[in-house]
Every structure is written in structure tokens, then in C-alpha cells.
Structure 1
């Protein structure tokens, strides 16, 4: 992360082998706080990752941007994650990727991960789409040799009812930005067409 001199946590080779999806533990003199409703969270609770320490920028050129990005516990990264009992950090998605459907919060990254575990699926992207009744509905763009019904059956076996996608579309590839990340706006457009 540019605002933190690029690195916040490191997974040592031995630790990374045991827990493949962790980003490791915070660097020395760097504090990562997981905030839930503005308060520090307990291990295992998911919230926004907030970073402070000597490598974190003191602010932006624009005072308003600085006020929006910093709080009592430091720089708000916009990433969602948690810390486990051993102090390892796990990033599970972005704050702005959360889908609220019928008053329930859905973690788009967790749904995409579940879909990727479905036999025949190579990749998936999950977004919230506008819904007149529920506010948003869960929608998935899926890559692989798989049908919509198989994806939905897999999701129903592993997810809460409100997390199961209401829309599934199988495509040849996910749209990506020049940096290689999933282009969420393009995903939205493909699912709406």
C-alpha cells in the first residue's frame, strides 16, 4: 500500500505454508487494528483494517481527503479482514464490496471463494446489483466449464440463503483492469446485459 510505504504485514515462509491465505503478521512498529462499528474487534471478527505507524503517510495534499482517510486508530485502508488467535492477518475483501440484501450483509469475496470451490469453476466475481425489493441482490460472473444450476446447488450447500446468488452468468473470462484486478464496473455491465 503506497500510503504505508508499500508493506504492512509479512507472512514468513513457514507460516505461509501452514496458512496459505494469510498476509502474515504486522511489521515491527506497524499497528493494524480491525475495526467493527468504529471499535477494535476481537480475534476472528471481521472489520475494516486500519493501519498506523512510522511508515504511514501523515496525510494527503488535500485536507479533506486526509480527514476522510484517517481516524483515531490511523489510516483506513478500505480493506476488510480479521486477525486470528495467533495474530495473523487475513484480508477478505474491500469495504465497498459488501452487499446489503434485505438488511443482511454479504461478503462478496467470501461468496466468490465458495463459487471457486465448485467443481468446474475456474474463477468468479461477485457484485451487488440493484433490487427494488431487497435493495441489492447477489450476482455472480463465473468462468469455467459449469452450468448455472451446478453453481447454485453448490452455493446452496455452503452459504446462507441470503448469500446465494440470484443471478449467475457463465463467461469465457472475467473483465480485468490494466493492473490485472477484476474490473467490477465491467462485471456489473455484463451482468446487466
Structure 2
């Protein structure tokens, strides 16, 4: 399996898990979603917004990469860049869910366009505080997917505390059995 195929698998996993999270969110009221639960981003809704914020920031950075795959991210350029990691992009679940579904489609299209040449390069960018960095593009993509998984794990705990089971979360469920 190539690195790009691994990323395609992670993009599919990302979409599948986000669907599960938003289905679970639909079982809760707006006040239950917004309830302060002591998480890093406070509530379930705050955590879901943070994942969308971080994805937006990273996809906008990836759109600046000098590669053929960056063309698939041109749709990100027009979006405003979030100013804070805890920024609320949408005040309602319906709007956030529609944006999440759109982001997941953008991610799948972008990852499917990646090439080995893209993955072997670096990306220069500034973090949200303005600090310049230059890092291996493929490693940043690993971070991108790992970050999503990290915060979805937090959201999973928050849903459990709210009495909602989001179901199985393991990537293993998407890896075909080859026996």
C-alpha cells in the first residue's frame, strides 16, 4: 500500500467517523450539545467546531502548496481563516454538519489527487500565532488526520458522558480482511 493509499484510507475513515459523530449529535438537544463538560473546547459542540476550525486552517495551508493536488483545494482559499482555535464557525448543528460534510468531500478529493512527488516535498506556512515553519508535506498530512482522531476521541468521551453511544470507532473496521 502506498502512502497516498494510506491517506485515502484515513480520509474515508475521517468521513465515516464524522458521520457517526454528527448522527450522535442529532440525538441531543442544542443545550445538551452546548453544555460545558470540562473538555478542552468545553462542550461537544465546541469540540466539533474546533475540528472544523483546524481542518479549515490546515486545508487552507495545504492549498498554498506548489503541487497539482493543491488545485483541488482552491475552494478553500475563499473561506475566511479562523482567528482562534476555539472559534465557533456555526451556531447551529445543521450548519456545522453541512460544513463538515462539505469539508470531508474536499478532503477526499484532495487526497485522491496527491502524488508521490507532492508527498516528498515540504510546506512552508505560518501557524495561528504567526510563527513560520517548513515541514515535510507528508508528515503534516499525518498530523492533519491524527489531530482529527485525537479530538474525535475526546468527543466520543463527551458523547458517552451524555449517554449517547457513537458505536465502534476503530479504523480496523475499514481495513479489509485479506484472509
TM-score bracket relative to the smaller structure: under 0.3
Relative to its length, the structure with more strand (as a share) is 1
Larger Rg computed on CA atoms: 1
Report the TM-score when normalising by structure 2.
0.25
TM-score scaled to structure 1, two decimals?
0.23
Select the structure that is richer in helix. Answer: 2
Q: Which has the higher contact order (CA 8 A, sep 6+)?
A: 2
